[in-house]
Structures are given as C-alpha cells and as structure tokens.
Amino acid sequence: MSILYPVSGGFYTLAVRFLDPSFALAMRWNYVFQSAIVLSLEITVAGTTVQYWGKDIMLIAGWITIFWILISKLFWVSKLKILMAPF
C-alpha cells in the first residue's frame, strides 16, 4: 500500500485513508503506550546489565536513573535539532 499510495506521515496515515480515523487514533495511542513500556523495560535491562559488572558501585535504581536522564537528554537534543533544522 505504501508504494501504490504514497502518503506523507506514519503508518497510521494509511489507516486513516483505508480504514477509519478513529482506528488510526487508536493505532497511534497503542504505539505510544508500547513505546513507553518498551523504553522502561530497556532501561531496566541496561541497568541490570551494568550492575552485573559493578555491584559494589551503585544500586540498580541509580543506573536506571542515569540511563533515563541520558535518554531524555538525547531525545530533547534530537527534537531541538529537528525543530531548528530549517534555520
């Protein structure tokens, strides 16, 4: 469908075109919830992995906080870069 009917936007744009706008809205929210759950899972796994090598250094909550701050900063820097790109 993407090749036959090219549209600008995400995969949910095709759902608006071929199914229903309410279905596309549900797809968007499911994608947001899935990303939030997977992000927290990945941060926890990264903290557990790093804690394996340095149990004496810090608790897992500290590693999770460090990774969360790092990912948040990277997200905002990339968002600012995209917003400032036309200038």
The pLDDT tens digits of the residues spanning 51-79 come to 888 777 778 888 888 888 998 888 888 87
Residues 41, 28 contacting (CB under 8 angstroms): no
Asked if the structure places residue 34 within a domain, the reply is yes
Q: How far is 34 from 40, CA to CA, in rounded Å?
A: 10
* Amino acid, single-letter form, for residue 24: A
- pLDDT for 1 beyond 80: no
In a domain, 49, yes or no: yes
**Per-residue confidence band for 49, with pLDDT thresholds at 50, 70 and 90:** confident
Q: Is the pTM of this model over 0.75?
A: no
Task: Kindly tell me if the per-residue pLDDT of 31 is higher than 80.
Answer: yes
CB atoms within 10 A of CB 63: 20
Number of domains in the chain: 1
Q: Judge whether 19 lies within some domain.
A: yes
* 13 pLDDT tier (thresholds 50, 70, 90): confident
